[in-house]
Amino acid sequence: MNIFTFTLRRLLLMIPTLWAIATAAFLLVHQAPGGPFQSDREIPAAAKEQLMRKYGLDRPLHEQYVSFLVNAARFDFGPSYKFPSRQVREIILDALPVSIELGGWALLVALAVGIPIGVIAAVKQNTRTDFLSMSFALAGVSVPNFVLGPVLVLGLALSLFLLPPALWQGPESRVLPVLTLSTAYVAYVARLTRAGMLEVLGQDYIRTARAKGLSERVVVTKHALRLGLMPVVSYLGPAAARIMMGSVVVESIFAVPGLGRYLVNAAFNRDYTLVLGTVLFYAGFLMLLNLLVDVLYTRLDPRVELA
């Protein structure tokens, strides 16, 4: 199967998947207690009825569902209930670059730090360096970001005053959110790199390269590294998805104006259109990322066939 056919097939399979996600999300938000127009001060009945009519919430649920699907197919989710002057599509497109930047920096840090740690641990297998590296990896996985974030704020921002504690203004404000989001993935990448390198370093062609008198650096970087990184490449898709979803918590901790923060606030405010639009956009965006990683995997290892 060529790349074009494979890509087209995966894109077509996204349609029923997105439909299932849209259906589940629609039913869940409408079954949640409360409503979009409830507040501490009770809205007059006439005003509430007018709002329900304006947004179509007075219609039967099945009619709302059909209307939602038709509009979602056009990437039109209507106005936000919390921000009635702004369309959900506009909010998503404004916040998306921030979430992509945060997730991209976090993934880049995870690869830039995790791969060297994994390679060194594999080359120095069963030595003190290996044990220390894997201990660091275990510690990174064990601390959740909703704990690590406040700890970093307390230590580096509120105690030492080295970095700003929140917001998204200037390069310094990126450091704490990126560190918080990337730490766990540094650990995952390091462990996967170590496992992949250990498998490759035991292959016959590696022993042949060493027998020819090549230096260890050349053997590792030019012969072993490409195939040794295959587990990391296969993990990039799920990692990107988890980073994007993990940014929901990080963006709330550091007041980052990304999609995650809007999603959390929309859920609290029962902002149906913003919740549904953000969930569907996340789902489609992450499916495309997984598709890209699958294609990249086959380019790095020609032995892998598209299916």
Flag whether 182 is in a domain: yes
Residue range 3-47, pLDDT digits in tens: 778 888 888 999 999 999 999 999 998 887 777 776 656 677 777
Flag whether 271 is in a domain: no
Torsion of CA 197, 203, 206, 212, to 10 degrees: 160
pLDDT of residue 216: 77
Flag whether 277 is in a domain: no
Answer whether residue 138 shows pLDDT above 70. Answer: yes
SS3 101: helix
pLDDT averaged over the chain?
Answer: 85
Residue 151 confidence class, pLDDT cut points 50, 70, 90? very high
Give this prediction's pTM.
0.79
Question: Distance between CA atoms of 54 and 64, rounded to whole angstroms?
Answer: 13
Flag whether 73 is in a domain: no
Please, is 186 exposed, middle or buried when counting C-beta atoms within 10 Å of its C-beta (0-12, 13-18, 19+)? Answer: buried
Q: What is the CATH number of the domain that holds 208?
A: 1.10.3720.10
Q: Any idea which of 58-62, 109-113, 158-162, 288-292 has the lowest mean pLDDT?
A: 288-292
Flag whether 217 is in a domain: yes
Q: Any idea which of 34-48, 78-92, 128-142, 217-231 has the lowest mean pLDDT?
A: 34-48
pLDDT of residue 136: 82
Flag whether 214 is in a domain: yes
Q: pLDDT > 90: what percent of the chain?
A: 23
Specify the number of domains making up the chain: 1
Residue range 69-107, pLDDT digits in tens: 999 988 888 888 888 888 999 999 999 899 889 999 999
Flag whether 75 is in a domain: no
Question: Distance between CA atoms of 120 and 126, rounded to whole angstroms?
Answer: 11
DSSP 256-270: --SHHHHHHHHHHHT
Between 156 and 3, name the one with better pLDDT.
156
123-139: burial string, b at 16+ Cβ within 10 Å, e else: beeeeeebeebbebbee
Between 137 and 120, name the one with better pLDDT.
120
Answer whether residue 297 shows pLDDT above 90. Answer: no
Between 21 and 237, name the one with better pLDDT.
21
Structural domain containing residue 227:
105-257
Flag whether 161 is in a domain: yes
Give the relative orientation of helices 3-31 and 61-73 as an angle to the nearest 10 degrees: 150
Answer whether residue 109 shows pLDDT above 90. Answer: yes
